[in-house]
Amino acid sequence: QQQVKQSPQSLIVQKGGISIINCAYENTAFDYFPWYQQFPGKGPALLIAIRPDVSEKKEGRFTISFNKSAKQFSLHIMDSQPGDSATYFCAACRDNFNKFYFGSGTKLNVKP
Amino acid sequence: KAGVTQTPRYLIKTRGQQVTLSCSPISGHRSVSWYQQTPGQGLQFLFEYFSETQRNKGNFPGRFSGRQFSNSRSEMNVSTLELGDSALYLCASSLSAGVTEAFFGQGTRLTVV
């Protein structure tokens, strides 16, 4: 059973556009939701994370929107740049358990 | 501040052999987790160590094992390698048990032939 479902699998956005990636989770005990960015040949890098007590968190061009009742969260990348082209993973875990369940990844391509 | 260091970066092994991968966490971090990344299965949790004890374990066969040393460095071992074990093995470092912010190393690319 896939604990975290991520969509779309791939995304093409024009430079300056908004990239939106969605995730849904099953386990209501999850209470930490990070997003990771991975470039080819590199490990995932932590981008931004949120806990369920807030509905939105913004860091620079990256925003997480969180809907606890729908068990969904999404990553918005504003003013997308070619350098943002990478694979993005959402994840979820329970507090005090450093065991992440990852989404299947979204390959983002930002066209110049 | 140095990041998470994994060695070696690349490994080629033959079916049936065993392999040991190493991970040095960020200085001061005491929790180390291991993940397997494959195109088909994505990122899957293997296990987590804190204070030299395994705290959490994923759904992998007993051929996959790990340990953590007193300096927080960790090793994982895979015995009797199978072709399906070919993957990128990633180590994640966290400050402590229950501190969920995790930072990944660059991984070890294992190819089993």
Inter-chain CB proximity A43 and B31 less than 8 Å: no
Task: For residue B6, list chain A residues with Cβ-Cβ distance below 8 A.
Answer: 43
B93 contacts: CB under 8 Å, gap ≥ 6: B4, B23, B25, B26, B29, B31, B32, B102, B103, B104, B105
Closest to A57 (Cα-Cα) out of A32, A86, A38: A32
Band (A2; pLDDT cuts 50, 70, 90): confident
From the CB of residue B30, how many other CB atoms can be counted at a distance below 10 Å? 19
Band (A6; pLDDT cuts 50, 70, 90): very high
Inter-chain CB proximity A102 and B107 less than 8 Å: no
Band (A1; pLDDT cuts 50, 70, 90): low
Interface test with A, best of B31, B38, B44, B100 (most A CBs within 10 A): B100
Q: What is the pLDDT of residue B97?
A: 78
For chain B, 113 residues long, give each residue's pLDDT as a single digit of tens. Answer: 679 999 999 999 999 999 999 999 999 999 999 999 999 999 999 999 999 999 989 999 999 999 999 999 999 999 999 999 999 999 999 998 777 789 999 999 999 99
Nearest Cα residue in chain A from B57: A99
DSSP, residue by residue, A8-66? -SEEEEETTS-EEEEEEE--TT--BEEEEEE-TTS--EEEEEE-TT-SEEEETTEEEEE
From the CB of residue A109, how many other CB atoms can be counted at a distance below 10 Å? 14
Structure tokens of A14?
């024009």
> Mean pLDDT throughout A11-34?
96
Nearest Cα residue in chain A from B34: A99
pLDDT digits (tens, 9 = 90+) for A56-109: 999 999 999 999 999 999 999 999 999 999 999 999 998 777 899 999 999 999
Contact B77, B101 (CB under 8 A): no
Inter-chain CB proximity B55 and A46 less than 8 Å: no
